[in-house]
Amino acid sequence: MTMTIEPLTPAIGAIVSGVDLAQPLTDEAFATLAEALLDRQVLFLRDQVLTEVQHRDFAARLGPLHIHPIYPRSADVPEIMLLDTALNDLRDNALWHSDVSFLERPSLGAVLLARTIPPLGGDTLWASAAAAYDALPATLQAYLATLSATHDIAKSFPADRFDADTLAAAKRNNPPVVHPVIRTHPATGRKVIFVSEGFTTGIVGMEPTMADPLLAMLYTHFTRPEFTVRWKWRAGDVAIWDNRSTQHYATYDYGAAHRVMNRATIMGDRPV
Ligand SMILES: O=C(O)CCC(=O)C(=O)O
Ligand SMILES: [Fe+2]
């Protein structure tokens, strides 16, 4: 099979064809895919038929895997997280976020497989926080580089939608953390806006009256259509994203329809 990588927008995204993730990739094919991921930040593959073990094993080539403190996981393969509307209210992913930024070492990226997709709706959007950074005026880039922000698991997991004991333990084990507002991508060297609606609660040393509008301005900026790509899922699609340089938003516009996604999450570095 010949791998082809077709970019989707100038800033972000590509469709990859000619790859079967159920088979172990050659080192060369894997290196091509990993390079495309750094460059395009989110990759989409159609028609993948994967067991949970194959899904996990592919993701594990990108790095050690993380087990989420709150979301349900597969009974057989705990590294496979279940995003199933029959198990959880998933409206909380309908806001821009970079996964698990409440950890001291947020994730490097994720491999998401669509299992059941509503007849209409449930698209997911990704934004390039690197392209968005590049478009900021230099004076603002320099100022933002002096700031740090707090990230808190409590912001995205409201008490009324999750099991109280699980939530209490997750909050106890994951106290708020501080990350730079602008991080440098460890592999590409690109600078990235690293605050999100999902988990950022404030800017260190700044009153909310100033920090909140500054954060809101950044969220509005990096989600401009020029920096985003929107994916319309079919069952069997896989998205692989770099969680250090992107944010994403899972649209919740499908009412009571059933939607099931499986995610493997790769652990990352401490942002600097
Ligand atoms: O359900 C989706 O499309 C994405 C949900 C999400 O935010 C994630 O898997 O990290
Ligand atoms: Fe997410």
Q: Whose CA is nearest to atom 7 of ligand 1?
A: 93
Is residue 97 flagged as an active site residue? yes
Q: Is residue 249 part of a domain?
A: yes
Domain that includes residue 140, residue range: 4-267
Minimal-distance CA residue to ligand 1 atom 10: 99
Question: Does 34 have pLDDT greater than 80?
Answer: yes
Tokens 């709706």 label which residue? 121
Residue 141 located in a structural domain: yes
Number of domains in the chain: 1
99 a catalytic residue:
yes
202: confidence class by pLDDT, cuts 50, 70, 90: very high
Write down the pLDDT at residue 79.
Answer: 97
In-domain check, residue 272 = no
Give residue 63's region: left, alpha or beta (phi > 0; psi -120 to 50): left
Q: What are the DSSP E strand ranges found in 163-242?
A: 177-180, 182-184, 191-193, 200-203, 228-231, 238-242
| pLDDT (mean) for 3-11 | 98
**pLDDT tens readout for residues 64-106:** 999 988 899 999 999 999 999 999 888 878 999 999 999 999 9
Nearest to 96 by CA among 185, 213, 219: 219
Ligand 1 site residues, Cβ closer than 6 angstroms: 83, 93, 99, 110, 112, 124, 248, 250, 261, 263
Q: Which residue has tokens 């993730």?
A: 21
Query: Residue 20 Cα, ligand 2 centroid: separation in angstroms?
Result: 24
Instruction: Give pLDDT, residue 221.
Output: 97
* Atom number, ligand 1, closest to the C-alpha of residue 124: 3
19 within some domain: yes
Residue 74 lies in a domain: yes
The CA 69 to ligand 2 mean position distance, Å, reads 14
The CATH number of whichever domain residue 153 belongs to comes to 3.60.130.10
Give mean pLDDT, residues 219-238: 97
Shortest-distance atom of ligand 1 to CA 259 = 1
Distances (CA, A) of 195 to 96, 98, 116, 171, 218: 10, 8, 31, 20, 8
Out of 40, 97, 183, 244, pick the active-site residue: 97
What pLDDT is attached to residue 105?
96
pTM of the model: 0.96
- What six digits make up the tokens of 161? 């939608």
Task: Classify residue 235: in a domain, yes or no.
Answer: yes
Residue 102 lies in a domain: yes
Closest listed ligand to the CA of 112: 1
- In tens, the pLDDT along 102-155 reads 999 999 999 999 999 999 999 999 999 999 999 999 999 999 999 999 999 988
- Mutation to probe ligand 1, out of 87, 97, 103, 124 (largest number of atoms < 8 A from CB): 124
Please compute the mean of the pLDDT values over residues 177-184 and round it to a whole number: 98
Type of residue at 209? T
> Among residues 40, 56, 248, 259, which one is catalytic?
248
Beta bridge partners of 107: 267
